[in-house]
Amino acid sequence: MLKVTYLGHSCVAATDGEHNIIIDPFITNNPQAPIGADDIEVDYVLLTHGHGDHLGDAIPIAKKNDATIIAPFELAVYVAKLGAEVHHMHIGGAYNFPFGRVKLTIAHHGSAAGEELAYTGNPCGFLITMGGKTLYHPGDTGLFYDMKLIGDMNSIDLAFLPIGDNFTMGVDDAVKAVEFLQPQKVVPMHYKTFPVIDVEPTEFSDKLKASPTEVIIIEPGESLEA
């Protein structure tokens, strides 16, 4: 069993009933966030990159919960300096955690943290196997052809894909990503948070009507089972 809760923007919480993780916990300054950062109880925090709308409340959440932050090496070093417990990884590598397996995938994007734009290495995506299901969270990225390889090598039960355009894939590229990844279910993310990414998710679902992949549009705070 894998239950996933969308917390707006790119923030996704997941539980197998025993372990709790959260990806890119942008809560405090996120107008979509349905809960406060203090309400979050997790064992691990996964970060795709250092941008403020992904790093978000990761450090206070990790400290409050005695949770470990899983991140690409340079970003892990950055958050460790700010007092968080970390597990460093890098792209192409996978590791078996108590909650499941995490593999880092490429992402075509930037990664820098804070107003000083501190160097935090390459951004990543996550392939997570938890509760017997495989979840793909690509972080912020443009479309890339290796998504076909990811789809060929993994049976993805649930994928979250950015559709907001401007900073990431827009609708048409996300539709192509679904074709490459062939997930059972896909949930659009990274839209409407800011005026510049004000994209209608129904554009995405309309274009996938004939696809074998089920498109699920969920509001922040809503959950689904993979």
Q: Which residues bind Ni ion (CB under 5 A)?
A: 51, 140
Residue with tokens 């004000």: 198
Identity of residue 71: A
Look at phi and psi of residue 181 and say left if phi exceeds 0, alpha if psi is from -120 to 50, else beta: alpha
d(CA 12, CA 82): 23
Q: How far is the CB of 30 from Mn ion (least distance, A)?
A: 11
* Nearer of residues 140 and 165 to Mn ion, judged by Cβ: 140
Site for Mn ion in 30-69 (CB under 5 A): 53
24 binds Mn ion (CB under 5 A): no
Nearer to Ni ion, 105 or 205 (CB): 105
Rounded to a whole number of angstroms, the minimum distance from the CB of residue 200 to Mn ion is 19
Residues 6+ apart with CB under 8 A from 22: 7, 11, 12, 13, 14, 40, 42, 44, 45, 46, 61
* 74 touches Mn ion by CB under 5 A: no
Minimum CB distance to Mn ion, residue 8 (Å): 12
Instruction: Give the side-chain half-sphere CA count within 13 A for 145.
Output: 0
In the complex with Ni ion, the residue whose CB is nearer, 99 or 191, is 191
Positions in 138-197 near Mn ion (CB under 5 A): 140
From Mn ion, Ni ion, none, which one binds at residue 24 (CB under 5 to 8 Å depending on kind)?
A: none
Q: Which two tokens stand for residue 76?
A: 């892990």
- Please say which residue, 100 or 138, places its beta carbon nearer to Ni ion: 138
* Binding-site size, Mn ion (CB under 5 A): 2
